[in-house]
Amino acid sequence: MASPDNLVLENITLCAGQTRVLNQVSLTVPLEGITLLSGRNGAGKSTVLRACLDLVRPEKGQILIDGLPPGMACERIGYMPQGLSDAALMIPAISHVMAAMDGARWGVPVRFGQRKREAERLLALTGALSFSKRPLGHLSGGERQRVCLAQALAGQPGLLLLDEPLAALDHDAQQQIVALLVSLTQTLGVSILMTSHETAALEGKVTRVLALENGELHVRI
């Protein structure tokens, strides 16, 4: 699926509880490559990503992804939330990826064999095929993140929203995941909008930085 070109915020006011994350922000952000959404803890970075998925509604204004509101653009978006679920840790990694394929987007069920082959393809793309039959709970943090990325790629999205994909990983694992993200943008043409506090691992790898601070959002190249 083609990568969306732009994220447009039109006079957006967005809140998380009592915190005003965005205060009447208007901005157009190109999405090609890797865009890092930065900000201090509690600034509302995860809320911004969730708003792009139509999981949180702005109090005012609108968000457009390639001219479409989030509710209509979400079919083009893959999402990797912050933190790893402790559910079903003894289920093989490949089953988690297969579960991410609803198989009914166009109303046509996908056979088990087709789902398995597609899951294997996605795991191969993220370097996780060699441990696809191991339970998720037996994988390292970096290995789990590769499986989560394969899940996010189900449905061939043009845009990935990744919430802290480098969290709790050691230096080597961070470097490997960053290299994988760069590779995905180059081989699949997918765009990435991600949050991360691990800015050292991303140095020289991101296309632009979105700085979130005190309700304002600024683009830095």
Q: pLDDT for 94-131, tens place per residue?
A: 999 999 886 444 444 568 888 999 999 999 999 999 99
Instruction: Determine contact, residues 111/137, Cβ cutoff 8 Å.
Output: no
Place of tokens 């990503």: 49
pLDDT for 101 equals: 82
pLDDT for 100 equals: 87
Instruction: Determine contact, residues 91/135, Cβ cutoff 8 Å.
Output: yes
pLDDT for 109 equals: 55
Instruction: Determine contact, residues 10/51, Cβ cutoff 8 Å.
Output: no
Please state whether beta strands 60-65 and 6-16 pair in parallel, antiparallel, or not at all (unpaired): antiparallel
pLDDT for 85 equals: 62
Q: Which of 8-17, 56-65, 83-92, 137-146 has the lowest mean pLDDT?
A: 83-92
Domains of the chain, first to last: 6-220 (3.40.50.300)
Distance between CA atoms of residues 110 and 131, nearest Å: 24
pLDDT for 205 equals: 96
Mean pLDDT within 140-163: 95
Interval 2-57: pLDDT, tens:
677 899 999 999 999 889 999 999 999 999 999 999 999 999 999 999 999 999 99
SS3 16: strand
- Tokens found for residue 123: 């795991």
pLDDT for 105 equals: 46
Interval 172-212: pLDDT, tens:
999 999 999 999 999 999 999 999 998 899 999 999 999 99
pLDDT for 167 equals: 93
pLDDT-derived band at 135, boundaries 50, 70, 90: very high
